[in-house]
């Protein structure tokens, strides 16, 4: 199954005034708790990220920490992080979303 990555118009829960909210759904069967990730990249930096599902407190803290960081820095730091015995994690799936976003921007 291909990753369900697509750009959508801002949703009600999206930050006010942001017009290019990216939407990412982790591939079915990867075993992460996050079901959807919405994010905004502005001038190469993460401007906003919201995880739907998962360890709410941890993911809110991570989102607050990475907002304002350069996309490449986040990819270098967080790609490949696993959760328990899983081969991926919610943050690793966000890195997959960022990689797909970057590929889309280069095409």
pLDDT value at 9 more than 50: no
Enter the pTM of the model: 0.82
pLDDT at 62: 96
DSSP letter for each residue of the chain = ---EEEE-PPPTTSPTT----EEEEPPTTS--S--EEEEEEETTEEEEEEEESS-HHHHHHHHHHHTTSBHHHHHHHHTT---TTSS--HHHHHHHHHHHHHHHHH-
Which range, of 3-7, 28-32, 69-73, 82-86, averages the lowest pLDDT? Answer: 3-7
């Amino acid at each position: 199954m291909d990753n369900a990555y697509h750009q959508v118009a801002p949703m009600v829960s999206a930050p006010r005034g942001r017009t290019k909210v990216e939407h990412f759904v982790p591939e079915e069967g990867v075993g992460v708790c996050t079901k959807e990730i919405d994010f905004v990249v502005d001038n190469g930096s993460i401007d906003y990220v919201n995880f739907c599902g998962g360890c709410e407190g941890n993911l809110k803290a991570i989102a607050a920490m990475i907002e304002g960081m350069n996309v490449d820095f986040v990819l270098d730091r967080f790609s490949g992080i696993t959760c328990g015995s899983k081969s991926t994690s919610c943050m690793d799936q966000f890195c997959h979303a960022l990689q797909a976003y970057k590929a889309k921007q280069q095409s």
